[in-house]
Amino acid sequence: MKKFGTVIAAISTLIFLNSCNTKMTDVNPLLVASENPFEAPAFDKIKNEHYKPAFEVAINEGRAQIDSIVSNHEEPSFENTIVAMEYAGRRLNGIASIFFNLNEAATDSVMQALALEISPLLTEYSNDIMLNDALFNRVKIVYDKRAELNLNLEDSRLLEETYKGFTRNGANLSSEAKERFRQINTELSQLSLQFGQNVLAATNKFFIQITDSSQLAGLPQFVIEAGAAEAAERSLEGWVYTLQAPSYGPFLQYSENRDLKEKLWRAANTKAYKDEFDNSDIVRKIVSLRIERANLLGFETHADYVLDVNMAKSSSTVNSFLNNLLDKTLPFAKKEVDDIQKYANSLGFQGLLMPWDFSYYSEKYKNEKYAISDELLKPYFKLENVQQAIFALADSLYGLKFKENLNIPVYHPDVKAYEVHDADGRFLSLLYMDFFPRASKRGGAWMTTFRDMYFENGVEKRPFVSLVCNFTKPTKETPSLLTHYEFNTLLHEFGHALHGIFAEGQYPSLTGTNVARDFVELPSQIMENWAVKKEFLSSFAKHYQTGESIPAELIDKIVAAKNYLSGYSNVRQLTFGINDMAWHSLKSVPEGDIESIEKRATKRTQLLTDIEGTCFSPSFSHIFAGGYSAGYYSYKWAEVLEADAFSLFEERGIFSKEVAHSFRENILSKGNIENPDILYRKFRGRDPQPDALLKKFGMTGRSQ
């Protein structure tokens, strides 16, 4: 508390100086033009004390820009109202992109406190724009005469999206309802931030320390080395294993110590639940407020509100999609679990497999059935080699060139910055790559931008794309060696990065990944297909010690095992999507704890023994701290799209420049200029075929 108070005092002093000294902006790196190559953010100069004053200056500037639009005495036009609004607050957007992205990837207690303080200011700013009657009246005048304006496709889309943005954010509400809408948005922004902070704190707090080497039985050397490195980093003896994916996953896969695995699994599945970081009440409050907000806007549920602007359009469509996919995949999943159970019993295991047993026996079964394992594969997937291979794939498909630039500041020593150029030498983007877990970074993997692509006063502003992961860290003895799953994850996130890199268009709100939630995963998930393609794997996978290429028979095993536990994996993903829809299809929050609500919703997807007292909703950051509420289904929705889309690559060749060019022109570069179903048909020549996903996973004609 002392440190927090000191920082707030320092910020107050800065704010006072800013009001007295017009040159204060000269020394705040967030408020002056960047002198770095390509106007890259000055991460080497930005400090926590710069954020609050910068936000206040930028908010005031944004308000003045909006006021000038409202007070314009000229007849409302597309240029003086819609375009002017699009560019109002650009400085604020840039500052917010830096702050909130770093709060996810390189945070600290001061930054988290600032986030809780700054978020209401931004919510108020947004509300003041969207609930401004005079501003909306100008927008409506332009919208109502849209047929007379002869706008091009992109301009028409901006007008349509701007008008829709106002109506979806309360512009048509009564004065009393608008005030309540403001309150709900403010509270939701705070609750979502607190949810994420609690998950990070709960993740960081738990670990198991091993000091007796006999408790390492079954662990491969790479897992032992990682545990030793984690212990050394914490100044502890022995070996430490955490809830971070590169530590948690391998320990459950390989450890023979059932008690420790149970302890680790229970910690992961009670994260931020009934502990000092309990998110239970926050979940209930978020869901309740989302219902109320949807009702204010004329929707029965939050899901109806969200889906109204997605490809799926309605809750009934999504629920039908999820249930249909569950019907088709559940029999395969049950058989797979039964096979693992029988295999475990054949090795002497007694009773039913518990959730903390499944990874161990499924890994052993995979190794026996396919003679393949992470331990066998990891030496061929050195991170640096994988990264260069993915760069080479992007070059082969799209002609992209990547060049590390050491003169571009980064926000953490782990981060590297690259220039991305097109085949003709044109600069396309900066790409920041941040690979390893740390206490200041949330779990998972994601792509984001520090700046979207747009034109301003005729000058093109290319995007700054960031790719963030949590991969196995290098140790003193071994470089970072990826599991095949991590390799697949990097391909996925790189697909998102390409969506940002290739962005073209006039307006920032329509470019890059600013698309419907159930369309945004298509570019990422299609890239995963190359993870099991012989031609690609053989082009780069070499043993990090001997330099020998991966044996052809090992590649054959990767391909043969690509659908191992595909039924189980599909049902697991459907569990998350069904739980998300259950929460956000509620018309009121029922009595009872959140565990009982969750388990009622996901009972049909339960494949292993249910463990009382566990619950994943309190740590389900995608839907309670991120942007996937009533949208987690989109992973499966987009998987159907990508399975169908990739079939064109398979028809024409997986390195087909012709297909890649079409995918870039019709999908990757177009952003939200047109409806996604239209863009997809332009690429594929038809609507997607729903059975493409089942065919991809070998579930058509396969015995159950």
List pLDDT tens digits, range 489-498. Answer: 999 999 999 9
Treating both helix axes as pointing N-terminal to C-terminal, what angle do 245-254 and 221-233 enclose, rounded to 10 degrees? 140
pTM (two decimals): 0.93
What pLDDT does 265 receive? Answer: 98
Q: What are the chain's domains? A: 2-130+132-172 (1.10.1370.40), 206-268 (no CATH), 379-565+635-696 (1.10.1370.40)
What pLDDT does 25 receive? Answer: 43
Structural contact between residues 412 and 397, judged by C-beta atoms closer than 8 angstroms: no
> Distance between alpha carbon 537 and the CA centroid of its chain, in Å?
26
Place of tokens 């931020």: 272
List pLDDT tens digits, range 167-193. Answer: 999 999 999 999 999 999 999 999 999
d(CA 68, CA 70): 5
List pLDDT tens digits, range 308-319. Answer: 999 999 999 999
What pLDDT does 27 receive? Answer: 86
Indicate if 148 belongs to the active site: no
| Cα 531–Cα 514–Cα 34 angle in degrees, nearest 5 | 95
The residues that bridge with 467 in the sheet, in sequence order, are 433, 447
d(CA 20, CA 71): 28
Mean of pLDDT values over 53-64: 98
SS3 content of the chain, % helix, strand, coil (to 5): 60, 5, 35
Mean of pLDDT values over 20-34: 69
303: nearest Cα among 321, 315, 292, 287? 315
Structural contact between residues 657 and 331, judged by C-beta atoms closer than 8 angstroms: no
The residues that bridge with 401 in the sheet, in sequence order, are 421
What pLDDT does 468 receive? Answer: 98
d(CA 535, CA 557): 14
d(CA 508, CA 489): 27
* Catalytic pick among 230, 493, 595, 639: 493
d(CA 488, CA 91): 36
d(CA 134, CA 500): 34
Specify the amino acid at residue 28.
N
DSSP one-letter string for 663-690 = HIIIIITTTTSS-HHHHHHHHHSSPPPT
And the tokens for 635? Answer: 């992973």
Task: Using the predicted structure, report yes or no on whether residue 626 has a pLDDT greater than 90.
Answer: yes
Mean of pLDDT values over 229-240: 97
Neighbours of 150 (CB within 10 A): 8
d(CA 399, CA 113): 44
And the tokens for 482? Answer: 């990826």
Mean of pLDDT values over 206-215: 98
Specify the amino acid at residue 182.
R
Treating both helix axes as pointing N-terminal to C-terminal, what angle do 355-370 and 258-268 enclose, rounded to 10 degrees? 120
Task: Please provide the distance, in angstroms rounded to a whole number, between the alpha carbons at the two ends of the chain.
Answer: 59
List pLDDT tens digits, range 542-591. Answer: 999 999 999 999 999 999 999 999 999 999 999 999 999 999 999 999 98
Task: Using the predicted structure, report yes or no on whether residue 703 has a pLDDT greater than 60.
Answer: no
Task: Using the predicted structure, report yes or no on whether residue 11 has a pLDDT greater than 80.
Answer: no
Mean of pLDDT values over 208-231: 96
Neighbours of 351 (CB within 10 A): 10
List pLDDT tens digits, range 30-45. Answer: 999 999 999 999 999 9
Residue % of the chain over a pLDDT of 70 = 96
d(CA 658, CA 104): 38
d(CA 196, CA 632): 17
DSSP one-letter string for 442-482 = -SS-EEEEEE--EEETTEEE--EEEEE--PPPP-SSS--B-
Structural contact between residues 51 and 114, judged by C-beta atoms closer than 8 angstroms: yes
Structural contact between residues 296 and 181, judged by C-beta atoms closer than 8 angstroms: yes
Secondary element (H or E) of residue 434: strand 427-434
Using 50, 70 and 90 to split pLDDT, how confident is the model at 20?
A: very low
Q: Which is it for strands 464-468 and 427-434: parallel, antiparallel or unpaired?
A: parallel
Task: Using the predicted structure, report yes or no on whether residue 26 has a pLDDT greater than 90.
Answer: no
What pLDDT does 592 receive? Answer: 86
List pLDDT tens digits, range 614-623. Answer: 999 999 999 9
Using 50, 70 and 90 to split pLDDT, how confident is the model at 23?
A: very low
| Helix, coil or strand: residue 382 | strand
